[in-house]
Structure 1
Amino acid sequence: MLATFIRWASVGLVCVAAQVAAAAGTAAPPLLRETLSLDEGWRFHLGDIKPDSFPGGQGVNLYGPDITYHGAKAGTAWGAAARGYDDKAWQRVTLPHDWVVEQPFDEKALKQQGYRPRGVAWYRRTFQLPAADRGKNIELQFDGVATRATVYVNGSEVHHSFNGYASFQINVTPMARYGDDINTIAVRVDADHTEGWWYEGGGIYRHTWLVKRSPVHIATDGVYANPVKAADGKWVIPAEVTLANTGAEAASALVDVEVFDAAGKRVAGGRSAPVSVISQGDAVAKVPVSVAAPQLWSVDKPTLYTVRTTVLLGGKPVDAVDTTAGFRTIRFDAKKGFFLNDQPLKLKGTSNHQDHSGVGVAVPDSIWDFRVRKLKEMGSNAFRSAHNPPAKELLDAADRHGMLVMNETRHFNASPEYLKQLQWLVRRDRNHPSVILWSLFNEEGLQGQEEGMEMARVMNAVVKQLDTTRPTTGAQNKGHLSPDGKANPKNAAQVVDVVGINYETDLYDKIRAAYPDKPIVSTEDTSQVMTRGEYTTDWKQVVASYDDVFPGWAATSSARNSWEAIMKQTSFAGRFSWTGFAYRGEPTPFGWPSASSHFGALDLCGFPKTEFYVRQAMFVEDKPVLTLVPHWNWPGKEGQNIKVMGLTNADTVALSLNGKLIEEKKVHPFQMVDWQVPYAPGRLEAVAKKGGREVGRFAVETTGAPVALRLTPDRDTLAGDGRDAAPVTVEAIDAQGRPVPTANLAVEFELSGPGANIGVGNGDPNSHDPEKGNKVRIYNGLAQVILQSRRAGSGDLVLRATSAGLKPGDTTIKVRPVPALPAVAVVAP
């Protein structure tokens, strides 16, 4: 195969909403419950609020003895938590919302959190429930609030959240008001409390929902429908369905389980025996469903099915839930590594935090899809959610695209509250075919001690109570071995299913020998640092992009060395490198003015660094890969040697400058190839061969000065649902239309049509520019703006970019009308 390689990404044409619809099918009847978006219509106040009003009426002394009595009663929350609090002057916001990304950088703020002020803030939302909703179960759902939250409903304190990465649900049926009465939600968010040593943002940064359903219903995350291949080779979904009853009387219910293929065709089904559910109690219905010859889910062909679960009372359906499922087997073997569908597969994974340029941690669903696609483009097949549960939309994207996931809990803690958080994680995510590992901890101080081992033992047992189909691991960076080099008898690795190793590359052989009967995976390695588009390290702000600079703990001197070390361990399941994407906070290897890390194969925007092409050349096996690094714009360095790297999976590469052969070299499978080339302007071209046959060419050219801007959207169509979003790449090009890789210049945007600019960025870890607004600075040739459709939008979304002295750039994204996402109407308090 002859391939011509280019650096800019191709434009995807299919929106996430369409992919989801295709995966779910359309043949099943409508669901019975109402799941309504609660994202719009919130009011926001940055800063805590000193109470100046109390709903107890006139004459109440806020600081006297009366407050002790009145303040202890239901419905009497005061200040900003009160039903009648006047919030008209507050800012209107739509969720997901991260207020921290909007704050200016401050050298006195927390370094590890990205030098941005955090603080406390309040959110309020009012809504009405029609009288017809009386008797239904009414539940509020928050997918994620950073970092600690207290929730009030109609003046009653109803929930405390201690984990910014865990979703939570609140049954508000008892305090709900109907008809013309107004219901009020108030949320106090404390982001001064931090859970991690990276940027965590602040606010209600994931989706919120209001769910209306029958008093007898399927509990939230109450369907366990993970397909299993039986010993006889047949497939069965041993569905377990948790029913809840918030009604006044006990009930007897039946549960139907149906399976639909990707085209929406019903392929299997079953019904439970009658299940009795007491008032304010729950019960589990078991419905094994056999499925004949299903199409398998894999990393190359991620076929998805839909499992519809329906509750019947008196023979009539009252509630139903759809669950995505994939038929696949996984196995971790101590001698041979990881197997997917009984085929060996090396995990080529990356670890990732959850923030993106321009939006912070309030990441639109389609940007999760974009990030997964970029990692797949690199050749990666596995994703570690470091060091916390991911957004469920990330897992949905992983299911769709065939990305395996190591799902990590935030807290290593075996106390009741934190075990509940672990239980929530497993319940929520145990149906995703992409999830293959539960990670119980990351680099804990107690991991190598008896205390840590016992904590891991308890957590492991809790996971097994809810899911026996996936193993557990822990991302452990020390404590595996005793001083004599044998297995430490009192460390967490003794009780998890798969031994996890963070770094410790020099101990791979010893750990392998110490745990001969346990599978092993590198849960974290590499920690390569580089700054996109920079090729000289100044040891102050930027790191050269030659894959040769690393922090002391990394244990390997390059991404190439770390993968070579993994591949030498044939029994290892694979690895999760640090990191796939760069992230805010933990600004390694420098501090101020660096506000984000220099880690990552891709920068904050998702623009590839050299490490991306290094990994692509090592990971991709089914097609030729060839890239040259660096660019070829070096004015003033004529005659000086420039290091040139050839990153390829070919056998040989011949390098020519301006048509003159420099040298043809044999390619090392990991180190690949490099040359020292005296600089002369022109065309530097590589020709790759495999088996003596040409398989690809790649060239970099000396460009002219920038004369125009070019805008390239990731997708040319958006769904007009108010959620769908697409990043647009901004480049400066020369007179021949070539991107200028050294361009650094200011750009302004004008936008018209049914959408909005929700964030800008450029991947510069030292940038202190605002990430909201109509201005951005191109950094080393690239910048990004994220456009989002308007709710009920339709028509052309037109973006124009201008820069002094350059021809403007324009692009148009079609916003197509789609059915409105069911939502809770916004009403005035």
Structure 2
Amino acid sequence: MFNKIIVKLFFLLVVTLPLQATSKSTFIDSETVRTKSNIDFDWKFKLGDAENANLPKYDDSEWRQLNLPHDWSIEGKYDENHPAGIAGGFLPTGTGWYRKHIEWQSQWQDKAVFIEFDGVYMNSEVWINGHYLGKRPYGYISFSYDISDYLVQGDNIIAVKVDNSLAPSGRWYTGSGIYRHVWLTTVNKIHIPKDGVFVRSENVDKESAAVNVSTEIFNDSDKNQRFVLQTDVLDAEHRRVASTSSDIIVAAGKTETVEQLTTVQVPQLWSPNSPYLYTVQSTVLSGDNIVDLKRTKTGFRSIEFTADKGFLLNGQAVELQGISMHHDAGPVGAAVPEDELEYRLKMLKEMGVNAIRTTHNPFSPEFYRMADEMGFMVMNEAFDGWWQAKAKYDYGLYFDKWWQKDLTDFMRRDRNHPSIIMWSVGNEVPNYTPEQQKIMVDFAKSIDDTRPITQGRGYAGGHLTIAGFNGHGEFKGAIQKFHRKNPNTPVIGTEMTHTIHTRGVYRTKTSYRVRDFPAPWEKHEPMKKWNRIKSKVYKIPNLTENEVFPDVPTAYGSSFDNSVVRMPIRDEIKLARKLPYLLGTFRWTAFDYLGESFGWPARTANFGVIDLAGFEKGPYYLYQSQWSTEPMVHLDPHWTHHGKEGTVIPVVVYTNQQSAELFLNGESLGEKTMTDDMQLVWLVPYQPGELKVVAKSNGKTIVTKALNTAQKAHAVSITANRESVTANQRDIVRLTLEIVDEKGVMLPEADHRFEIEVSGPATLLGVENGDILDLEPHKARNRKAFMGKALALIQTTDMPGDIVVTVKSKDLSQDTVVISSSK
């Protein structure tokens, strides 16, 4: 039985000042006291094991040279026999070695130097000049090593072994390699350690915020030292708005924690609509000399979670309009460029998403920086399982030895982000006990007691601040039943709802997974399973009596809201609005992700409302119509159905306006008022031409959208998301490739092959079309269109100049774009 739980938390949060990842990227707080330099470029790599590759004299001249982040799995071929199998999307795993040569730098003299890895998957072992630094099994954790004592004049060699040879090591696509950034941090022997600042605040409102700052100072010298710690809070214009200082003596070889209190008057509060950030500046002084100086970004806000009020942000009721999200991104796998991550987060912002669950592991540091800056609230999840492995070779094999170290490092790294509003300590943990859950929750609270703790499908354990429901919450009445037994416990849909869609694909009759396309674990007597649950799932009326699109492969899901596991999107949204104790939901998922497929040859299961290429599916716009206030209207399906003239086709419209009127070739098919069904449906006998919808409020036209019937394929069309870039080996350009007719209308079912030519200072980083059954490699110069389009990603080099991309397709007119790249 849950105890009465009321969580009321007020605090100020801090994040590390963002670093620009370029070849010359150095974040300098003071030229003499602290530097943080990116070392992603010019690593050597060998796929496979290499005896003695950890030794300085090893000859790596024949190894491949590359830049980080790097994921070797996404570079491989899909193969049914790869050991990662269904879980890993049938991509290869294995062992790899990385080596990096760094010349001695004079600034290292008499300093402390740390190498910091944002993420290495998995079982990483690191050496510097042959000296073993350590091993970290968990592939999602950030970690660092002190290399000060092992640096030498001349060439310094970092060697990293990455072992992902035992597969599957996760239940989804993990990637393999050093897939996040690597840094060198240089500080004085007396310094603020990594993640050594923790800031929280009480009584936060529009009038003031009482700020508590805990700052660790490490004295790595041979004598006791006296210091002054000066802590300043700066606003966005770098004006000081609060300040405090303390005298402290730190014994030789010891770390002392300084507790300080100050007050910020009339703070600007952080929220998704106004993600205002401050800076906390920590200066360690010895007399007039600056010993260390660290600047961090901050945000003020209060959070409160109760069963009767729901979730209050800064005292205002807010519904969590959330999505779950894995860490990979289509053609780049786990090595996601920051430009691509930012592009995807902007898509979510435009969809109306205000909350993200990091499933089921820590994300990259830049994700949290972007969440702070863009205004996303985050459920930050540490682990998938605990002591029992869920995939054959996953982190469960190492959990008992490593979980406390990893959970500590994870929470210390992220505890100061204003975006993070709750922690999750696990997901669908098999056979966990209430005692195990209490151990996890108590330990997490010992690191950070300013946020609530939840767990995906952990509602039965009894020790969570907020009860987490996954798929079981999609059964009718399940959450209400829990609430009757635990009336004081707030609830969150940690993974709700599960629906399955493919871009450009439609069915007019409702399908349920277990009944119509069972997952591998449901294939034994699926109808028996269906009969057991059919009274508990949500009934979705068919759009037509007979299926209009009968030839769709069963691996594909309909892009109407009628392809579900248990609950459609509309009922997910209704439930969150109806139940005050349900704080909101995190749908599964925002983006299609590699792995966890339903079997060969599918490389994923189409759970996203955005496909592997980053193209929207129909349900994206359903969410947008309910979660976004920006005027919008959308209609499905496309309007190119040659051979179906006269066939009655359901046309579904989503809008956040009061009504919509539909026109076919200029003739009105009637105006309909939006209801709580969240969609408007017209049954339209098909004829080619223009299908147009006009959305209105208060009788006035607010927004329109039109679909036109495509004719014969005529040309290739390229759309670039930017016209100019920086020659920094980082910037990304997204090229949307389409097959169009003579008037420029995309052919929505075209499958022509694109041939891609790139000249100038850029490389083709990857290609993708969103088709879960297309097993062609990502690192190729051609790709078939799927439902009329595909994606190509190009990345700049370090040379300026014009990047020229030409795309061809057999018997069609080609297209060319020119992108300017400059220093």
Partner of 2:621: 613
Contact 2:206 2:267 in 1 (8 A): no
- Is residue 2:341 matched to residue 1:368? yes
Partner of 1:445: 430
SS at match of 2:576: helix
Partner of 1:679: 686
Q: Count how many residue pairs are aligned between Structure 1 and Structure 2.
A: 743
Contact 1:145 1:189 in 2 (8 A): no
Give, as a single letter, the amino acid of the residue that structure 2 aligns with 1:134: Q
Choose from 438, 450, 456 the match for 1:475: 456
Instruction: After superposition, give the CA deviation of every residue in 1:221-249 in whole Å (9 maximum; x if it has no partner).
Output: 11213454458952133121122233343
Contact 2:768 2:783 in 1 (8 A): yes
Tell me the CA shift for residue 429 of structure 1: 0.8
Choose from 799, 806, 813 the match for 1:807: 813
Partner of 1:535: 506
Choose from 460, 463, 470 the match for 1:495: 463
- Is residue 2:320 matched to residue 1:347? yes
Of 200-209 and 256-265, more deviation after overlay is shown by: 256-265
Tell me the CA shift for residue 43 of structure 1: 1.2
Instruction: After superposition, give the CA deviation of every residue in 1:691-745 in whole Å (9 maximum; x if it has no partner).
Output: 4433332221102223232222223333333223232222223222233322221
Of 379-388 and 732-741, more deviation after overlay is shown by: 732-741
Partner of 1:761: 768
- Is residue 2:562 matched to residue 1:548? yes
The verdict on how the C-alpha distance between 1:34 and 1:335 changes in structure 2, with shifts beyond 3 A counting, is: same
- Is residue 2:196 matched to residue 1:211? no
Partner of 2:595: 585
Instruction: After superposition, give the CA deviation of every residue in 1:518-556 in whole Å (9 maximum; x if it has no partner).
Output: 2211111121101111124745432221121223xxx31
Q: Distance in 1 between matches of 2:431 and 2:32?
A: 47
Instruction: After superposition, give the CA deviation of every residue in 1:21-51 in whole Å (9 maximum; x if it has no partner).
Output: 9xxxx998668312121211211111123x3
Tell me the CA shift for residue 191 of structure 1: 4.5
Contact 1:126 1:185 in 2 (8 A): no
Tell me the CA shift for residue 154 of structure 1: 2.0
Give, as a single letter, the amino acid of the residue that structure 2 aligns with 1:595: R
SS at match of 1:225: strand
Instruction: After superposition, give the CA deviation of every residue in 1:347-401 in whole Å (9 maximum; x if it has no partner).
Output: 1000000111221000011211111110011111111100011111111111111
Give, as a single letter, the amino acid of the residue that structure 2 aligns with 1:502: N
The verdict on how the C-alpha distance between 1:523 and 1:683 changes in structure 2, with shifts beyond 3 A counting, is: same
Q: Distance in 2 between matches of 1:97 and 1:623?
A: 37
Partner of 1:249: 223
Partner of 1:301: 274
Contact 2:217 2:250 in 1 (8 A): no
Partner of 1:272: 246
Partner of 1:32: 33
Contact 2:709 2:745 in 1 (8 A): no
Give unmatched runs, 5+ long, in structure 2: 1-16, 388-398, 508-550
Contact 1:146 1:203 in 2 (8 A): yes
The verdict on how the C-alpha distance between 1:207 and 1:415 changes in structure 2, with shifts beyond 3 A counting, is: same
Partner of 1:46: 47
Give, as a single letter, the amino acid of the residue that structure 1 aligns with 2:814: P
Contact 1:529 1:598 in 2 (8 A): yes
The verdict on how the C-alpha distance between 1:726 and 1:326 changes in structure 2, with shifts beyond 3 A counting, is: farther
Partner of 1:436: 421
SS at match of 2:563: coil
After superposition, where does 1:744-755 map in structure 2 within 5 Å?
744-755=751-762
Q: Distance in 2 between matches of 1:644 and 1:405?
A: 36
Tell me the CA shift for residue 812 of structure 1: 3.1
Give, as a single letter, the amino acid of the residue that structure 1 aligns with 2:41: E
The verdict on how the C-alpha distance between 1:428 and 1:286 changes in structure 2, with shifts beyond 3 A counting, is: same
After superposition, where does 1:408-427 map in structure 2 within 5 Å?
408-410=381-383, 411-412=385-386, 415=400, 417-427=402-412
Q: Distance in 1 between matches of 2:488 and 2:750?
A: 54
Give unmatched runs, 5+ long, in structure 1: 1-15, 52-78, 481-490, 818-829
Tell me the CA shift for residue 771 of structure 1: 0.8
Q: Distance in 1 between matches of 2:107 and 2:367?
A: 36
Contact 2:319 2:576 in 1 (8 A): no
Give, as a single letter, the amino acid of the residue that structure 2 aligns with 1:813: I
Tell me the CA shift for residue 152 of structure 1: 1.9
Instruction: After superposition, give the CA deviation of every residue in 1:572-631 in whole Å (9 maximum; x if it has no partner).
Output: 1111000000000011xx3211112211010112110011011111212x3332100011
Choose from 415, 418, 442 the match for 1:461: 442
Q: Distance in 1 between matches of 2:804 and 2:245?
A: 52
Partner of 2:520: none
- Is residue 2:528 matched to residue 1:522? no
Q: Distance in 2 between matches of 1:80 and 1:29?
A: 36
Contact 1:500 1:521 in 2 (8 A): yes
The verdict on how the C-alpha distance between 1:338 and 1:232 changes in structure 2, with shifts beyond 3 A counting, is: closer
The verdict on how the C-alpha distance between 1:386 and 1:679 changes in structure 2, with shifts beyond 3 A counting, is: same
Partner of 1:81: 54
Contact 1:336 1:572 in 2 (8 A): no
Q: Distance in 2 between matches of 1:378 and 1:405?
A: 16
Contact 2:121 2:139 in 1 (8 A): yes
Partner of 2:646: 639
The verdict on how the C-alpha distance between 1:434 and 1:378 changes in structure 2, with shifts beyond 3 A counting, is: same
Tell me the CA shift for residue 663 of structure 1: 3.3
SS at match of 2:332: coil
The verdict on how the C-alpha distance between 1:634 and 1:85 changes in structure 2, with shifts beyond 3 A counting, is: same
Instruction: After superposition, give the CA deviation of every residue in 1:287-319 in whole Å (9 maximum; x if it has no partner).
Output: 323222222211112111222222223431122
Give, as a single letter, the amino acid of the residue that structure 2 aligns with 1:544: S
Partner of 2:102: 127
Counting aligned pairs with the same residue, the percent is 33
Tell me the CA shift for residue 134 of structure 1: 2.9
Q: Distance in 2 between matches of 1:127 and 1:249?
A: 32
SS at match of 1:377: helix
Tell me the CA shift for residue 502 of structure 1: 1.0
The verdict on how the C-alpha distance between 1:730 and 1:539 changes in structure 2, with shifts beyond 3 A counting, is: closer
Partner of 1:65: none
Contact 2:21 2:38 in 1 (8 A): no
Instruction: After superposition, give the CA deviation of every residue in 1:193-241 in whole Å (9 maximum; x if it has no partner).
Output: 5542000010000011111111111111112134544589521331211
Q: Distance in 1 between matches of 2:260 and 2:228?
A: 10
Q: Distance in 1 between matches of 2:806 and 2:244?
A: 56
Give, as a single letter, the amino acid of the residue that structure 2 aligns with 1:47: G
Tell me the CA shift for residue 426 of structure 1: 1.1
Q: TM-score, normalised by structure 1?
A: 0.85
Partner of 2:357: 384
Give, as a single letter, the amino acid of the residue that structure 1 aligns with 2:624: Q
The verdict on how the C-alpha distance between 1:518 and 1:754 changes in structure 2, with shifts beyond 3 A counting, is: same
Give, as a single letter, the amino acid of the residue that structure 2 aligns with 1:215: K
Partner of 2:303: 330
Give, as a single letter, the amino acid of the residue that structure 1 aligns with 2:457: Q
After superposition, where does 1:732-811 map in structure 2 within 5 Å?
732-791=739-798, 793-811=799-817
Q: Distance in 2 between matches of 1:773 and 1:563?
A: 41
RMSD of equivalent CA atoms: 2.4
Give, as a single letter, the amino acid of the residue that structure 2 aligns with 1:658: N
Q: TM-score, normalised by structure 2?
A: 0.86
SS at match of 2:369: helix
Choose from 458, 477, 484 the match for 1:513: 484
Contact 2:328 2:594 in 1 (8 A): yes
Partner of 2:136: 161
Contact 1:564 1:670 in 2 (8 A): no
- Is residue 2:75 matched to residue 1:102? yes
